[in-house]
Amino acid sequence: MDEKNTQSKILTIPNLLSMFRIVLIPVIAWLYTKQEAMAAGVLMLISGITDVVDGFIARHFNMVSNLGKILDPVADKLTQVTMLICLVSRFPWVIVPVVLMFTKEIFMSITGVLVIRKAGKVMGAVWHGKAATVCLFITILLHIFWYDIPPALSIVMVVLSSSLIILSFVLYGKRNFDAIEQAKNAK
């Protein structure tokens, strides 16, 4: 199958896994709010595993699609923000990565649409975005599974996650502005 046909596919295994992760979000949040932290944590782990699996399948079986480039990070961000908001009730400082994520994602959505319009391409995730995602995932799981996490460790994990979100924000912003500028210069 040529690359153009692959890019336009909608019903691929990776996309279905991303949709499954989105469906898990309200279930995880509901379990957490009902003080079923272990069950919520297990579903978070399942969500994280399916995230890794969908990426592996997409890359190794030529199932990367434009929808997947959008759907996968949307599933990640919705899961992360939902769980961080749930955690704010016990750990008020967790609001910092929530605000940073909202700010970054609004900016990324606007500049991403501009890249699609100007350059005609959907840009995928890169290492710093993945590093921020992994760090946030670990931070969330620590807070879910370790009910009495020491405040100092909690704050360190939140600061580390927030720092990676800021780094990713800056580097994605530069990448998107560069792509927009290159598209302008190509015309």
pLDDT at position 7 over 80: no
Place of tokens 């008020």: 92
Burial environment of residue 183 by CB neighbours within 10 A (0 to 12, 13 to 18, 19 or more): middle
DSSP class of 51: H
Task: Give, to the nearest 10 degrees, the angle between helix 66-88 and helix 37-60.
Answer: 160
Query: Rounded distance, CA 151 to CA 30, Å?
Result: 25
Query: What does pTM read for this prediction?
Result: 0.87
Query: Rounded distance, CA 45 to CA 47, Å?
Result: 5
Structural domain total, the chain: 1
Calculate what percentage of the chain has a pLDDT beyond 90: 81
Contact 175/126 with Cβ under 8 angstroms?
A: yes
Question: Tens digits of per-residue pLDDT, 105-130?
Answer: 999 999 999 999 999 888 878 899 99
pLDDT at position 36 over 50: yes
Radius of gyration of the chain (CA): 17
CA dihedral 30, 35, 39, 43 (to 10 degrees): 40
Domain of residue 114 covers 3-186
Please report which confidence band the pLDDT of residue 6 belongs to, taking 50, 70 and 90 as the band edges.
low
Contact 44/28 with Cβ under 8 angstroms?
A: yes
Q: Identify which of 43, 53, 47, 48 has the alpha carbon closest to the alpha carbon of residue 13.
A: 53
Cα–Cα distances in angstroms (integers) from residue 83 to residues 37, 78, 139, 155, in the given order = 11, 8, 10, 16
DSSP class of 94: G
Query: Token pair of 95, please?
Result: 């609001």
The whole-number average pLDDT for the span 12-36 is 96
The pair phi, psi for residue 152, each rounded to 5°, is -65, -45
Q: Identify which of 82, 20, 106 has the alpha carbon closest to the alpha carbon of residue 57.
A: 20
- CATH code (residue 52): 1.20.120.1760
